[in-house]
């Protein structure tokens, strides 16, 4: 399989959120989310249940071993979650873990208690708290564990060549009998969309990850299978609400009024419709009467900007747009955004580009002003971490009491009607405030030759993800089709480059 960016580490405390595609083969996930039936299903864990949404029981599968021979048990889960919670680990899921306490009931059972009711907690066990590493190996290897991970998933990391590929071999003692059926799996990093597409055509890869609808139409016409998953959110321009200049709402509104998503899509994503509201058309939680993105209005933008200069006593303003290096489409987007913003007289926008790891650090630390980013998921609950003022992925530092209250309601209520109303409020508010001003509605795609079977697409807010799929081997004979767990997913968050 090929994806477009490299991960920083395979430490599960980090990569369960931000490098799912690399780490799920090694660690598996405690739970999985079935997008077809919209329900959580067992993974490495047998079950995770609660009656009141506050006290949960995690039950593990018996007889599961890490690939170093040690037990995959409740104590191992507790050990890993303590690492996530520890400030020194710098885990993106630390804020989630901080709200939890747990105790080992027996070797296969963990009792988990939340500070507050949260009926959406199972989602954390599909991503941020989902991956469990060997405590023995973590203790022995220390910081190097992220380069030589030991899990209990279907594959073992054999070799990792940064910015090139990660090579995995089958875990002969995987808990699910008969899986995996393939001997090896390779995850390649190919940054350019056209190069990934050609790699698929020439069979250098069997699975291609993409977010480009134009390529989906092209490759489907050539006879390939296209799997799709509409995604909540999108790619866009993000604002740092803590920046000394951008914390001013009128200045942000001035910048937002220069935004022209139709121009971006026409140049780079022909056929994609411009975006006027955060959620895609037809989403059940979209209600345009609650709020829409600010409309383009250059005269209004100039008026607001001039008022900001007068208020602050500045003669002009220079802002910095932080973008990803090495992804041509996003290079072009950054240039278009720079041109749009600089239609305001007196405003200069410089572009700074850097690799993914550096950019993630910038976003997490808040050391940026404007940035290119995204939030993409198949589940609405993912936006809690992105837009709640205490969210673990809130790199814009956005804070809106109405959004906080509605997002909290979405977790504390088990009434679908109440949850729907809460999400409509959230969509309206984040559309009006535009902490992330997206330019197109995105669908995640997986392209495969016809012989690749049983694909399951997983939307993740941390990265392109992995799920267990069936793969008809190219050298199989009738009646002897082989199946295997492989990476196959789409999605990203505000810290990951997507196109």
Q: Is the dihedral of CA 194, 198, 203, 204 positive or negative?
A: negative
User: What is the pLDDT, as a whole number, of residue 234?
Assistant: 86
Q: Is the dihedral of CA 441, 444, 447, 452 positive or negative?
A: negative
Answer for the pair 230, 361: CB distance below 8 angstroms, yes or no.
no
Instruction: Per residue of the chain (499 residues), give pLDDT as tens.
Output: 999 888 889 999 998 888 888 899 999 999 998 877 778 999 999 999 999 999 999 999 999 999 999 999 999 999 999 999 999 999 989 988 999 999 999 999 999 999 889 999 999 999 899 999 999 999 999 999 999 999 999 999 999 999 999 999 999 999 998 888 788 999 999 988 899 999 999 999 999 988 888 899 999 999 999 988 888 888 899 999 999 999 999 999 999 999 999 999 999 988 888 999 999 998 999 999 999 999 999 999 999 999 999 999 999 999 999 998 888 888 999 999 999 999 999 999 999 999 877 887 899 899 999 999 888 887 888 899 899 999 878 999 999 999 999 999 999 999 999 999 999 999 999 999 999 999 999 888 899 999 887 677 776 653 333 343 333 333 322 233 333 333 433 333 333 332 2
Answer for the pair 237, 337: CB distance below 8 angstroms, yes or no.
yes
From CA 189, how far away is CA 208, in angstroms rounded?
11
pTM (2 d.p.)? 0.76
Cis before 85? omega within 30:
no
Adjacent-strand bridge partners of 167:
159, 186
User: What is the pLDDT, as a whole number, of residue 480?
Assistant: 30
């Amino acid at each position: 399989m090929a994806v477009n960016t490299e991960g920083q580490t395979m430490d599960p405390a980090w990569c369960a959120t931000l490098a799912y595609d690399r780490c799920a083969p090694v660690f598996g996930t405690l739970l999985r989310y079935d997008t077809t039936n919209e329900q959580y299903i067992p993974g490495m864990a047998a079950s995770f249940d609660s009656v009141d949404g506050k006290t949960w029981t995690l039950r593990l599968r018996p007889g599961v071993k890490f690939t170093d021979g040690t037990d995959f048990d409740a104590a191992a889960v507790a050990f890993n979650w303590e690492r996530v919670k520890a400030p020194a680990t710098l885990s993106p899921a630390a804020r989630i873990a901080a709200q939890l306490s747990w105790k080992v009931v027996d070797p296969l059972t963990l009792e988990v208690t939340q500070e507050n009711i949260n009926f959406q907690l199972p989602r954390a066990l599909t991503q941020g708290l989902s991956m469990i590493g060997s405590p023995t190996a973590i203790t022995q290897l220390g910081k190097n564990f992220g380069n030589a991970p030991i899990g209990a998933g279907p594959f073992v990391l054999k070799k990792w060549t940064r910015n090139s590929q990660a090579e995995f071999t089958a875990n002969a003692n995987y808990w699910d009998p008969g899986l995996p059926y393939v001997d090896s799996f390779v995850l390649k990093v190919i940054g350019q969309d056209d190069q990934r597409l050609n790699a698929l055509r020439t069979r250098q890869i069997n699975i291609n990850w993409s977010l480009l609808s134009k390529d989906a139409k092209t490759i489907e016409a050539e006879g390939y299978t296209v799997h799709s998953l509409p995604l909540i959110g999108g790619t866009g321009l993000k604002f740092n609400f803590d920046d000394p200049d951008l914390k001013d709402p009128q200045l942000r509104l001035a910048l937002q009024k220069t935004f022209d998503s139709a121009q971006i899509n026409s140049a780079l994503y022909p056929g994609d419709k411009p975006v006027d509201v955060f959620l895609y058309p037809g989403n059940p939680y979209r209600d345009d009467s609650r709020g829409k993105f600010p409309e383009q209005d250059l005269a209004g933008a100039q008026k607001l900007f001039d008022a900001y200069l007068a208020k602050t006593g500045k003669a002009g303003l220079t802002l910095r747009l932080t973008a990803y290096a090495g992804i041509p489409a996003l290079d072009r987007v950054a240039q278009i955004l720079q041109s749009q913003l600089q239609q305001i007289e007196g405003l200069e926008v410089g572009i700074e580009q850097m690799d993914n790891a550096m950019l993630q650090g910038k976003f997490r630390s808040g050391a940026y002003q404007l940035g290119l980013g995204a939030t993409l998921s198949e589940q609405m609950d993912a936006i809690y971490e992105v837009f709640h003022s205490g969210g673990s992925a809130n790199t814009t530092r956005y804070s809106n009491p109405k959004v906080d209250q509605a997002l909290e309601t979405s977790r504390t209520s088990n009434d679908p009607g109440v949850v729907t109303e809460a999400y409509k409020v959230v969509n309206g508010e984040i559309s009006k405030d535009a902490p992330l001003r997206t330019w197109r509605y995105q669908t995640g795609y997986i392209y495969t030759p016809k012989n690749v079977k049983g694909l399951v697409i997983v939307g993740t807010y941390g990265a392109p993800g992995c799920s267990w799929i069936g793969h008809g081997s190219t050298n199989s004979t009738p009646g002897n089709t082989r199946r295997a767990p492989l990476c196959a997913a789409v999605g990203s968050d505000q810290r990951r480059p997507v196109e």
